């Protein structure tokens, strides 16, 4: 396998690069291989659908890509930085600044307003309250939620909550966005509306996004489609 330094060079370097990712879990007295040498490049402004059956390893792949879990072998390269040898503190810092996460359930803090949910991660990252509020309001306006900033999550519809969650995921201007079934809890009409908002945000900001989904209608609207076949990433036509 070529060295990481060789793999990440080029005229247009990928924002995200997976290099030979392997992962197995203990099962009884043996091991269960999940990922068997995953290689993948993701570029700025690119929207990629990850479609695979349950149990194929989608969540494991997203957790490793998001630096939530370490691979047994291989490396994750974000913005040209190889992450395999980083300690936990550096991985946490990189995760806060370079990676945004959106899940099937919004995970908004229930006691805080929509705007406050966007401000908190920015303030943790070091922005002052005024700057965080301005950026939060700008993001809410972009997601067509400018009139909902003072509302608690319980006062928002399912689609509104998920749009707030998307805005929160990009509040710190990450390079990579990882979404795990972000429209899975929504009805078809709301699902398409939320996806449109997400896609527009990716295009406008130059994010590199991987979206795990079972919704093939949404997958067909993305730039690329990939799946996991026997633990390896395969491009779909």
Position with higher pLDDT, 84 vs 154: 154
Q: Is 172 helix (H, G, I), strand (E, B) or coil?
A: coil
- Of 117, 69, 101, 89, nearest in space to 212 by CA: 101
- Of 174, 117, 124, 109, nearest in space to 140 by CA: 117
Can you give the pLDDT at residue 64?
A: 92
Does position 94 have pLDDT exceeding 90, yes or no?
A: no
- Average pLDDT in the chain: 85
Q: Is the pTM of this model over 0.85?
A: no
Buried-state track 135-172, b at ≥16 Cβ within 10 A, e below 16:
bbbebbebbebeebbebbbeebeebbbbbbbbbbbbbb
For the chain, the structural domain boundaries read: 16-235
Phi first, then psi, for residue 182 (nearest 5°) are -65, -15
Range with the lowest mean pLDDT among 85-99, 144-158, 165-179, 194-208? 194-208
For the chain, give percent helix, strand, coil, nearest 5.
Answer: 35, 25, 40
DSSP 154: G
**pLDDT tens digits along 164-219:** 988 888 888 889 999 887 777 677 777 777 788 888 888 888 889 999 988 888 88
Average pLDDT over residues 46-71: 88
Q: Other CB atoms closer than 10 Å to residue 192's CB: what's the count?
A: 16
Can you give the pLDDT at residue 93?
A: 86
Q: Other CB atoms closer than 10 Å to residue 53's CB: what's the count?
A: 10
Cα separation, 193 vs 62, whole angstroms: 24
Q: Which homologous superfamily does the CATH classification assign to the domain defined by 16-235? A: P-loop containing nucleotide triphosphate hydrolases (3.40.50.300)
Show the tokens assigned to 86. 């980083």
């Amino acid at each position: 396998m070529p060295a990481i330094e060789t793999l990440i060079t080029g005229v247009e370097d990928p924002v995200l690069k997976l290099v030979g990712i392997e992962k197995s879990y203990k099962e009884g007295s043996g091991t269960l291989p999940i990922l068997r040498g995953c290689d993948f490049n993701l570029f700025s402004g690119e929207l990629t659908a990850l479609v695979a059956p349950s149990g194929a390893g989608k969540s494991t792949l997203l957790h490793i890509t998001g630096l939530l879990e370490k691979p047994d072998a291989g490396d994750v390269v974000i913005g040209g930085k190889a992450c395999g040898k980083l300690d936990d503190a550096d991985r946490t810092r990189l995760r806060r600044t370079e990676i945004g996460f959106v899940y099937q359930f919004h995970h908004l803090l229930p006691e805080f307003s929509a705007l406050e949910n966007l401000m908190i991660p920015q303030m943790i990252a070091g922005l002052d309250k005024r700057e965080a509020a301005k950026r939060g309001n700008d993001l809410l306006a972009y997601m067509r939620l400018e009139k909902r900033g003072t509302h608690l999550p319980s006062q928002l519809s399912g689609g509104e909550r998920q749009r707030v969650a998307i805005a929160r995921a990009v509040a710190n201007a990450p390079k990579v966005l990882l979404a795990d079934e972000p429209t899975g809890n929504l009805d078809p009409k709301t699902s398409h509306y939320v996806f449109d908002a997400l896609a527009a945000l990716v295009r406008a900001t130059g994010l590199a996004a991987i979206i795990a989904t079972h919704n093939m209608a949404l997958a067909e609207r993305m730039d690329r489609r990939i799946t996991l076949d026997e633990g390896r990433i395969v491009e779909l036509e």
